[in-house]
């Protein structure tokens, strides 16, 4: 499997190529600009065409003042000389990039133990599971500078934390800590520190990496595609996803190796087959 090389996304491949760890370390505060956006687009495309099954995104960046950073926002300074048309096109591109990453056929775990402001909070929408350490801080400050959260913070965040909490964060810009983020459902699990968060993420990622690539991919694709659909359409998506597992041969592999799998042995699955919703 060819591993892409990036300037801002530092990749580490584990679990026989089925788990990818991305550590952010770019700019002053991991601000997201055009370069980083392009690399996330490339990574997302790559994830759709490999047998990678789990992705962990994290950061150990610390400012000179000792402040831990996850993603402290978008790179607004690069837009200083942009026209309004350029800004409009860029923000639409941001929104599309995060939406595509959300749909990537992998289990995406975000481990946050630092500032996740603006784009950093919106980035969490792309994750399937979010772990926060004690130094994690979250906020949507955009309305204070004359804009609004435009990379999913308005359209998608309410589906995760509810309308009232989304309105609270987006309209006040209030910064919340890890425990409050857990209370409102912005994060799914708390860790004692970054190392503990990464250990937990690796445990989850390795569990996913042992499973059928086709089944894992089809499960996520069908589940997300079913959101908002009527019962008949949801059930049809489930049926198609299940039947893909049969057609791919992985269901037969599972039956033939049932005792080995339940004993904890590692087996060889077939290549990932995508579900087209």
- Number of neighbours of residue 184 by Cβ within 10 angstroms: 17
For 143-159, write each residue's pLDDT tens digit.
999 999 999 999 999 99
pLDDT value at residue 16: 85
Q: Exposed (0-12), middle (13-18) or buried (19+): which is 259, by Cβ within 10 Å?
A: exposed
Contacts with 195 (C-beta within 8 Å, 6 or more apart), sequence order? none
b (16+ CB within 10 A) / e for 112-125: bbbbbbbbbbbbbb
Of the candidates 67, 65, 71, which has an alpha carbon nearest to the alpha carbon of residue 29?
Answer: 71
pLDDT value at residue 76: 84
Contact (CB, 8 A) for 274 and 216: no
pLDDT value at residue 80: 87
User: For each successive 10 residues of the chain (277 residues), what is the average pLDDT?
Assistant: 80 90 93 93 94 96 95 89 94 95 97 96 97 98 94 95 98 98 98 98 96 96 96 97 97 96 92 92
Long-range contacts formed by 256-262: CB under 8 A, 24+ apart: none
pLDDT value at residue 25: 92
pLDDT value at residue 77: 87
C-alpha distances out from residue 156 to 118, 121, 214, Å = 14, 12, 27
What is the C-alpha separation between 108 and 126, in angstroms, rounded? 8
What is the C-alpha separation between 124 and 136, in angstroms, rounded? 12
- Number of neighbours of residue 155 by Cβ within 10 angstroms: 14
pLDDT value at residue 1: 54
User: The whole model's pTM is what?
Assistant: 0.95
**DSSP string spanning 94-117?**
HHHHHHHHHHSSSEEEEEE-SEEE
- The structural domains of the chain, with segments of one domain joined by +, span 9-208, 212-262
Q: What's the half-sphere exposure (Cβ side, CA atoms, 13 Å) at 78?
A: 15
- Identify the CATH number of the domain defined by range 9-208: 3.90.226.10
pLDDT value at residue 31: 93
Of the candidates 43, 40, 48, 188, which has an alpha carbon nearest to the alpha carbon of residue 123?
Answer: 40
């Amino acid at each position: 499997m060819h591993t892409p090389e990036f300037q801002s996304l530092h990749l580490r491949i584990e679990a026989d190529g089925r788990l990818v760890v991305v550590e952010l370390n770019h700019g002053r505060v991991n601000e997201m600009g055009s370069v980083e956006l392009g690399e996330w687009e490339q990574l997302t495309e790559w994830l759709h065409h490999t047998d990678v099954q789990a992705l962990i995104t994290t950061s150990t960046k610390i400012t000179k003042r000792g402040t831990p950073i996850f993603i402290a926002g978008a790179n607004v300074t690069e837009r200083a000389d942009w026209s309004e048309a350029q800004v409009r096109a860029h923000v639409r591109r941001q929104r599309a990039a995060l939406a595509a990453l959300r749909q990537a056929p992998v289990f995406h775990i975000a481990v946050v133990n630092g500032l996740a402001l603006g784009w950093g909070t919106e980035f969490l929408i792309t994750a399937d599971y979010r772990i926060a350490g004690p130094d994690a801080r979250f906020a949507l400050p955009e309305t204070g500078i004359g804009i609004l959260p435009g990379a999913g913070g308005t359209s998608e965040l309410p589906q995760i934390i509810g309308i009232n909490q989304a309105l609270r964060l987006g309209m006040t810009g209030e910064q919340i800590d890890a425990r409050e983020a857990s209370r409102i459902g912005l994060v799914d699990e708390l860790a004692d520190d970054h190392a503990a968060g990464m250990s937990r993420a690796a445990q989850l990622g390795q569990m996913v990496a042992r499973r059928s690539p086709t089944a894992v991919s089809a499960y996520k694709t069908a589940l997300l595609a079913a959101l908002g659909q009527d019962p008949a359409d949801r059930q049809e998506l489930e049926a198609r996803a299940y039947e893909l597992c049969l057609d791919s041969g992985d269901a037969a592999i599972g039956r033939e190796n049932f005792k080995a799998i339940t004993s904890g042995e590692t087996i060889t699955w077939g290549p990932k087959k995508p579900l087209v919703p």
